[in-house]
Structure 1
Amino acid sequence: MNTKEKILSKALELFNEKGYNTVTTRHIAAELGISAGNLHYHFKHSEDIIKILFSQLVINMDELLNRMKKMEIKTLKDLYSFTFSTCEIFYSYRFIFVNFVDILKEISEIKLQYEEIHVNRKEEFQLIFSGFQKHNIFKKDIPDFLMHSLIEQIFIIADNWLTHNRLILKLEKEAAVWHYTLLQMNLFYPLLTEKQQQLYEKQYIQPQNV
C-alpha cells in the first residue's frame, strides 16, 4: 500500500469514527506518523480526500449493480444478497451518509455527481426489477406508480439508515447490516408472488423469530 492509499484508508477510518467535520488533514497525518507536508503533497485539502472516498463508494456500487444486471437467473436469494452487499458497502463509508447534507452542501462536485447517480440508479433499478418480474419473483401486474414509489422508498432508506442507526438503535456493524437489510427487504414483500412470499417468510422471517 503506497502513501496515498494509506492516507485514504486512515482518513476513511477516522471519518467513520469521528465524523468528517472534526477530522483535519493534520489529524490524519499524525495518525499515520507522517508530516502534514507529506500528506498535502498528495491531498491539499480534506475535501479532496472526501471526493475520492465518495468515488470509491460509487465504484463499489457500480460493480455490484453491474453484476446484478448481468445475472441470467434472478432469485429471492439474489435480491437478499444484493441488499445485504449494499448495506455492507454503505456501512464501510458510513460517514458520508451520516454527514450527507453537509457534504453535499459544502462540496458541489459531489452534489452534482449524486444528482446524476440518482437519475441513473432509478433506471438501473427499474431494469433489475423487470428481471425479477420476468423470473416470477415479483408479480407481473405491479402498477407503475407503486414501482416508482418503491424505488424512491429504497433511496430514502438506503441514504438514511446509517443516521437512524447512529441516533436510535446504535447497532454494531454485523447487527446493523443484518437489521437494515431485512428492513429494506420487507419493502419488497407486497410485490412478491405468493410462492415467493412463502419462501421469504420461511427463509428470512421465521428463523429470526425462533
Structure 2
Amino acid sequence: MAGTGGRAGATRQRVLEATLGLFNERGFGVTVAEIAAACGMREGNLHYHFRKKELLIATLYERFQEEELAVAEAALGDAAAAESYAEYQLGWFALMWRYRCFYRDAFNLQHRLPGLKGRFMEVQARASAAVARVMALATEHGFLAIPAGRITSFVTNVWIVSSYWMDYLHTSTASAGLTEQQMQWGFGQVMALFEPYLTPAGRAAFSPLAQRAAALVLREKEPGARG
C-alpha cells in the first residue's frame, strides 16, 4: 500500500470517500474500473494506493468500526438532560446512514471477507457495553424505566434491529436506494423498542427521533454535503 502522508494520503482519502459513496449507492458489486472513473484516475493509479477492491472494503470497514466505537463511547453532555440521550441516539443514526453499505450487506460482507469477523465481534462487544452504560444512566435519571436485569437484552435487541433493518429493506423491496419514508420507517423500528420503557420525561425527547434522524439524513444528501 502507498504511504498515507502528504499528497498520497490526500489521494487515498479521496479514493476512500468516492468508494464509500459508490458502495452506499450501488453495493459492493461496484468494479475497480468504476471506482477509478469516479475518482478521475486510471485503474493503475488506483492500484498504487489499493492493490485490490477487498483492501478498499477492509480499510473502509476499519474506519467504520473506529467511528462506531467513537459514537458508542461518546461522553454525554449532561447525563441529567434528556436531550443528551437524544443526541446520542442521533449520532448512531448518522453513523448508520454514512456507512449504510455495511448495514445493508452485513451478512454477505462477512462471507466475502471472513477475516473481519473477529474484529466485528470485538467491536460489537465493546460498543454494546458502552451503550448499556448509557441506557443505565438514562434509567437512573428517569428517562427510561428498564429493569436492571433487562438492560443487556434490550441493548441486544436494539443492536439487532439497528444492524439489519436496511438489509431487510434491501432484500424485500425493489428500490436500490432509501426514500425518506423508508428512512423514517427504519429509524422508527429502532425507536419502537424504546417505547415500552419511555417515562413521561423521556417521551418528549425520544418520540420525535425518527423524524429528526430522517431530516438529518436528507441534509446529508444535499449537494456538497458529505455522504
Q: TM-score range by the shorter chain?
A: 0.7 to 0.9
User: Which residue number in structure 1 is paired with residue 112 of structure 2?
Assistant: 106
Give 2:26's match in structure 1, choosing from 18, 21, 37: 18
TM-superposed deviation, 1:87: 1.9
Matched residue SS, 2:193:
helix
Contact preservation (8 Å) 1:87, 1:177? no
Alignment of 1:30-45 (within 5 A): 30-45=37-52
User: Which residue number in structure 1 is paired with residue 61 of structure 2?
Assistant: 54
User: Which residue number in structure 2 is paired with residue 154 of structure 1?
Assistant: 158
Code of the aligned partner of 1:6: R
TM-superposed deviation, 1:115: 0.7
TM-superposed deviation, 1:194: 4.2
TM-superposed deviation, 1:92: 1.7
Alignment pair present for 1:122 and 2:128? yes
User: Which residue number in structure 1 is paired with residue 35 of structure 2?
Assistant: 28
TM-superposed deviation, 1:169: 9.2
Alignment pair present for 1:63 and 2:70? yes
Please, which moves more after superposition, 75-84 or 87-96?
75-84
TM-score normalised over the length of structure 2: 0.76
Equivalenced residue count is 201
User: Which residue number in structure 1 is paired with residue 83 of structure 2?
Assistant: 77
Code of the aligned partner of 1:17: E
TM-superposed deviation, 1:41: 0.8
Contact preservation (8 Å) 1:84, 1:177? no
TM-superposed deviation, 1:46: 0.7
Inter-CA distance 25–76: structure 2 relative to 1 (3 Å threshold): same
Inter-CA distance 5–200: structure 2 relative to 1 (3 Å threshold): closer
Cα RMSD (Å) of the superposition? 2.8
Distance (Å, rounded) in 1 between the aligned partners of 2:182 and 2:192:
15
Distance (Å, rounded) in 2 between the aligned partners of 1:56 and 1:32:
19
Inter-CA distance 3–195: structure 2 relative to 1 (3 Å threshold): closer
List per-residue Cα deviations over 1:78-119 (Å, max 9, x = no partner).
333322331222122212122211211221332111111121
Contact preservation (8 Å) 2:20, 2:99? yes
Distance (Å, rounded) in 1 between the aligned partners of 2:97 and 2:12:
22
Code of the aligned partner of 1:28: I
List per-residue Cα deviations over 1:29-60 (Å, max 9, x = no partner).
12323121111111011111111111221222
5+ residue gaps, structure 1, are none
Q: Which has the higher helix share?
A: 1
TM-superposed deviation, 1:163: 1.9
Alignment pair present for 1:3 and 2:11? yes
Matched residue SS, 1:125:
helix
Contact preservation (8 Å) 2:82, 2:202? yes
Distance (Å, rounded) in 1 between the aligned partners of 2:83 and 2:187:
12
TM-superposed deviation, 1:71: 3.1
- Among all aligned residue pairs of Structure 1 and Structure 2, give the percentage whose two residues are the same amino acid: 19
Matched residue SS, 1:104:
helix
Code of the aligned partner of 1:127: R
Distance (Å, rounded) in 1 between the aligned partners of 2:99 and 2:202:
32
5+ residue gaps, structure 2, are 1-6, 213-227
Distance (Å, rounded) in 1 between the aligned partners of 2:110 and 2:103:
10
TM-superposed deviation, 1:156: 0.9
TM-score normalised over the length of structure 1: 0.81
Distance (Å, rounded) in 2 between the aligned partners of 1:113 and 1:173:
32
Contact preservation (8 Å) 1:136, 1:193? yes
